[in-house]
Structure 1
Amino acid sequence: MTDPTLTSSTALAALRAAGEETRLRILALLAQGELSVSDLTDILGQSQPRISRHLKLLVEAGLVERHREGAWAFFRLADRDPAASLLRPLLDALDERDPTITGDRDRLAAVRAARAEAAQAYFARLAPDWDRVRQMQAPAETVEAAIEEALGDRPVRALVDLGTGTGRMLTLLAPRARRAVGLDASHAMLSVARANLEKAGVRGVELRQGDIHAPPVEPNAFDLVIIHQVLHYLDEPARALREAARLVAPGGRLLVVDFAPHEFEFLRTAQAHRRLGFAREQVAGWLGEARLACTLHRDLAPPDGAENALTVSLWLGQDRRAVTDMPFRNPDREVA
């Protein structure tokens, strides 16, 4: 765990880093959500090398975090470095009517609109095939209500959504958590998720590109891990569950949502499904092998009269280790 104390030298370095016009503008923009170097150059009207130098200083001062997404680099405000504790009061005190702040936010809105348009154009090409599968199963509202019922009102300190896709599970569940992370192998799908989260007003979510079989996040760090409609795409679903279980904090939970067994072979070619659903005992057994107790299983029947009907199944795995650091709900997470 990061040491929460702040030394005088660390504080001075952070204040020096923030105490420059362009860097302060960058920090104010990142308070609205993570951005790429390209986004910042478009908004601030400065060269890429200059913006990169400013970002390097902010990262070194512990005020900003950097992560790669393929050939792209994204930046967000740090929230686990002691230096970041100096930042929020400063940014909250900025006058939103200030012409510079207002202009930057107007250009940010334009950048986000263009990004959302590009992301939705990509998703529109996939939507017809996805719509066909959705019509074969229980409505999304029914599935999401069952997910919320399965999780109950237990508070969440940190959650990670493995294979986040469009970011729907993050939109639904990130407001419960102090920290929320979404992982996907596809940069294009992360662009869709980023646009959807921005549209929903969900801030502070960390989106990461990575392999579900080797997730690039800390082990034993998340009291809620989600794998929603992902396992049927994988050659090694049991391995993915084992890796997911490694991320679960003591006393935490792993939620799996996927299809019950079916015989619709056309989904292998039409939708790239590798597995035709999973039996209750199969996933429960994998959870047990990963040292999680399967505390809940539920089947959601497809709509009446649905052609090629699919049953959606939920499994909830519980870590058996004692909880030493009780999670808590963050009442300040902003959701539209």
Structure 2
Amino acid sequence: MDKFLAQLRAAAEPTRLRLLALCARGAFCVTDLCDVLGQSQPRLSRHLKLLVEAGLLERVPEGANAYFQLPPGVDLARLLLARLPEDDPLLAADRRAAVRLAAERAREASDAFRRDGADWDEMRALTLPATAIEEALLGLLPPAIERFLDIGTGTGRLLELVADRAERGLGIDASREMLALARARLAERGLAGRCAVRQADMYRLPLPDAAFDAAALQMVLHYAEDPAAALAEAARVLQPGGLLVVIDLAPHEQSDLLEQQAHRWPGFDDAAIAGWLGAAGCAAQPAVTVPGPLDVRLWPARRLPGHVAAQTTSVLTF
């Protein structure tokens, strides 16, 4: 009862209700919330602190910044928000300002990538058959997924793709610019309530053991200095019997990709992937090939029970 009353008291204030309504639609940092609500940072920080302490919001650090959003399972917050009138002028103005801000952030991130000469859409850059690859991946994933992890999420396209079959989706990426684009994509498509993104290192995922029943690394492994370590960390956060799908290039001889696209590896053969997966405690299943200018392979594997992996030191709730 004490926790319930504390949450009611925390929510019973106009600014805090506005904050809850915004953060139910996606993740926002303090600066973003100041821009939308037109209030000072000290004032909003105090409101956010109360909401976090009451368990109505969660605070997710990202570099020097932090993002706020509704944690899963906060039924009281969603019940209260469902009672708010959709046509309330103040809430409607907040929503419009949030949409405008998300568009601005996405444009800034895209502009930064273009200025730096990078092309974040690698499928397009390599003229790969993206639709066929996505269809092949969906054919390997189960029709219902409780928790899905996308390692190297980029612009969040894979989260969008699996959103209709996953109760919760989490995307991990090291690039803040990528995460800005991913957040904008998820918010625009109304998926921010079930899908989230975090900044993290794929070699040290800030996630507990056995937290997900499916995970994917799409076009990520050829950038890895240590593919075996990346796969071992991905396997660690899978439940026993959980599915891991690696999507990457088959062996090729286009050495220019190592320089122009900063690839570390000229594709992978089945034996190398199977060996790394086996060392990570996963049983490899038959691979799938998607032909194209560069052949793409999908390597599914199941997490074996009883394999013990090292636990990361810092854990985020999800």
State TM-score, norm by structure 1: 0.86
SS at match of 1:296: coil
- Is the 2:27–2:183 Cα contact (8 Å) retained in structure 1? no
Q: In the TM superposition, what whole-angstrom CA distance separates every residue of 1:108-131 from its partner, at most 9, and x where no partner exists?
A: 122122112212223445787567
Residue in structure 1 matched with residue 102 of structure 2 by the alignment: 112
Instruction: Answer whether contact 2:289 2:295 (CA < 8 A) is retained.
Output: yes
- Correspondence 1:213 to 2:197: no
Quote the residue 1:189 is aligned against: 178
Quick check: 1:49 aligned with 2:42? yes
Q: Distance in 1 between matches of 2:97 and 2:286?
A: 47
1:140 maps onto 2:130 in alignment:
yes
Instruction: Classify the secondary structure of the residue corresponding to 1:182.
Output: strand
Matched, 1:315 2:280: no
Corresponding residue pairs, total = 305
| Alpha-carbon displacement from aligned partner over 1:98-155 (angstroms, at most 9, x marks no partner) | 12211211221221221122122234457875678646454100110111112242x1
Contact in 2 for aligned 1:17/1:57 (Cα 8 Å): yes
Counterpart of 2:161 (choices 172, 181, 206) is 172
Aligned counterpart, 1:306: none
C-alpha change, 1:136 and 1:40, in structure 2 (3 Å) is closer
The one of 233, 240, 244 equivalent to 1:254 is 244
CA change 1:29–1:132 in 2 (3 A) is closer
Give 1:156's aligned residue. 145
Aligned 8 A contact 2:123 2:130 in 1: no
- Whether 2:253 is the aligned partner of 1:269: answer no
Task: Report the CA distance shift for 1:33/1:133 in structure 2 as closer, same or farther (over 3 A).
Answer: closer
- 1:52 Cα deviation from its structure 2 partner: 0.6
Structure 1 SS opposite 2:286: strand
CA distance in 2, matches of 1:49, 1:172: 39
Please say if 1:98 is aligned against 2:88: yes
Percent identical pairs in the alignment equals 47
Alpha-carbon separation, structure 1, partners of 2:168 and 2:186: 14
Deviations 1:15-40 (A, max 9, x none): 11001111111001111111110111
Superposed displacement of residue 201, structure 1: 2.8
Contact 1:159/1:174, CA 8 A, preserved across alignment: no
In the alignment, the residues of structure 1 paired with residue 149 and residue 86 of structure 2 have an alpha-carbon distance, to the nearest angstrom, of: 32
Q: What is the distance in 1 between the residues matched to 2:115 and 2:208?
A: 34
Secondary structure of the 2:285 match is strand
In the TM superposition, what is the alpha-carbon distance from 1:78 to its structure 2 partner?
Answer: 1.6
Matches of 1:25 and 1:103, distance apart in 2: 11
Specify which of 47, 53, 72 is matched with residue 60 of structure 1. 53
Pair 1:29 & 2:28 matched:
no
For residues 237 and 265 of structure 1, the distance between their equivalents in structure 2, rounded to whole angstroms, comes to: 19
Q: Give the aligned CA root-mean-square deviation in angstroms.
A: 1.8
Report if the CA contact (8 A) 2:29-2:68 is conserved. Answer: yes
Q: Does 1:233 align with 2:228?
A: no
Matches of 1:251 and 1:267, distance apart in 2: 35
Cα 1:272–1:239 shift into 2, 3 Å: same
Q: Is 1:286 aligned to 2:276, yes or no?
A: yes
Q: Is this contact kept in 1: 2:113–2:119, CA < 8 A?
A: no
What is the match of residue 122 of structure 1? 112
User: Which TM-score applies when normalising by structure 2?
Assistant: 0.91
Query: Shift of the alpha carbon at 1:11?
Result: 0.3
Indicate conservation of the 8 Å contact 2:255/2:266, yes or no.
yes
Q: SS of the residue aligned with 1:219?
A: coil
Structure 2 residues without counterparts, runs of 5 or longer = 307-318
Runs (4+) off by over 4 Å: 125-133
- The AA in structure 2 aligned to 1:14 is Q
Which one is further off, 38-47 or 174-183? 174-183
Range with bigger deviation, 252-261 or 193-202: 193-202
User: Which of residues 215, 224, 237 is equivalent to 2:214?
Assistant: 224
Tell me, in whole angstroms, the C-alpha distance in 2 between the residues paired with 1:285 and 1:17: 52
Between the aligned partners of 1:233 and 1:57, the Cα distance in structure 2 is: 41
| Structure-2 residue corresponding to 1:332 | none
Query: For the Cα contact (< 8 Å) 2:26–2:183, is it kept in 1?
Result: no
Shift of 1:234: 0.9
Which runs of 5 or more residues in structure 1 are unaligned? Answer: 1-7, 303-308, 323-336
